[in-house]
């Protein structure tokens, strides 16, 4: 993976893929998400955005980085009760309300989104190298490991991009 995205020399690792100032392609009906966070409030939010977009006929491209990638480690999602630290005082209320309302989990939402639409989930190679992870360490819902260039290629002609 170092060959794809060397951690010690990110600039050289990319090469110039196209000339500077080139015209970007026309906008595609796609939602691109950088999923940086691994708290269940943000994972839930991302999964709902992805589900909504898929139901509206949009392609969805999700790029898992940092804590977002760690949240997809096998089995992690069943134990994850992490809530954004800024709202730690709401953690028990959130968990109780989600249980009381029988809210489907963020993982179930993403599985549902994949069933109804074209949803592609990639984990960031930089993050995977940093935390010594392989694709086989992640839940099967993750399609592949890619570099940031591959994500940007997909995101820059997307109708909508969110950094979550």
Query: Binding to its own copies by residue 113, rule CB under 8 A?
Result: yes
Please report the DSSP string for 66-112 in residue order. Answer: HHHHHTTBTTHHHH-----GGGGGGHHHHHHHHHHTTPPPHHHHHHH
Q: Is 20 in the site for its own copies (CB under 8 A)?
A: yes
Among 43, 59, 69, 122, binds its own copies (CB under 8 A): 59
In terms of Cα–Cα distance, which of 106, 108, 104, 122 is closest to 60?
Answer: 122
Any contact of residue 31 with its own copies (CB under 8 A)?
Answer: yes
Q: Does 45 bind its own copies (CB under 8 A)?
A: yes
Closest CB 102 distance from its own copies, rounded Å = 5
Q: Are 67 and 127 in contact (CB under 8 A)?
A: no
Given candidates 82, 121, 145, 146, which one binds its own copies under the rule CB under 8 A? 82
160 belongs to the binding site for its own copies (CB under 8 A): yes
Query: How many angstroms separate the most distant Cα atoms in the chain?
Result: 55
If one counts every other C-beta atom within 10 angstroms of the C-beta of residue 100, the result is 8
Interface with its own copies, residue 3, by CB under 8 A: no
Report how many residues bind its own copies under the rule CB under 8 A. Answer: 88
């Amino acid at each position: 993976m170092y060959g794809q995205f060397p951690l010690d020399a990110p600039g050289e690792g990319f090469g110039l893929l196209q000339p500077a100032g080139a015209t970007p392609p026309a906008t595609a009906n796609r939602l691109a998400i950088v999923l940086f966070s691994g708290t269940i409030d943000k994972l839930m939010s991302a999964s709902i955005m992805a589900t909504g977009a898929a139901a509206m006929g949009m392609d969805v491209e999700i790029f898992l980085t940092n804590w977002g990638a760690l949240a997809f480690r096998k089995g992690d999602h069943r134990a994850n009760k992490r809530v954004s630290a800024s709202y730690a005082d709401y953690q028990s209320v959130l968990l109780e309300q989600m249980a009381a309302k029988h809210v489907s989990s963020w993982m179930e939402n993403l599985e549902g989104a994949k069933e109804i639409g074209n949803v592609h989930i990639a984990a960031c190679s930089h993050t995977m190298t940093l935390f010594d992870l392989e694709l086989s360490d992640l839940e099967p819902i993750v399609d592949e490991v890619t570099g940031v260039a591959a994500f940007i290629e997909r995101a820059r002609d997307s109708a909508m991009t969110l950094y979550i």
